[in-house]
Amino acid sequence: MITSDIIVKGDKEFLEACKQALEPEEEFKTDRAEYSMKLDKNNLKIKVRAEDATAFRAVTTTITGLLSVIEKGWTHGR
């Protein structure tokens, strides 16, 4: 099993936008991979669990892709 914690830092409004973007995918769990999120005061913690490297890569690619969309929108005027 492969596990990883991804920490996203920023202001509360940005972190809430990130969490909202990732919530629909969080519900999509498979036998091979899943992730969960926890929003704290100054960061969003994303815990990834995968049975193998291929599943881990798929989940982290999905997460980083969605975060990239939010970040680009955030820095270019929302």
Q: Which domains does the chain have, with CATH numbers?
A: 2-75 (3.30.310.50)
pLDDT for the residue numbered 22? 92
pLDDT for the residue numbered 78? 62
Q: What is the pLDDT of residues 13-45, one digit of tens each?
A: 999 999 999 998 777 777 899 999 999 988 999
Q: What's the whole-model pTM score?
A: 0.86
In order, the DSSP letters of the chain are -EEEEEEEES-HHHHHHHHHHHHHHHT---SSEEEEEEE-SSEEEEEEEESSHHHHHHHHHHHHHHHHHHHHHHHTT-
Q: For the chain, what is the mean pLDDT?
A: 90
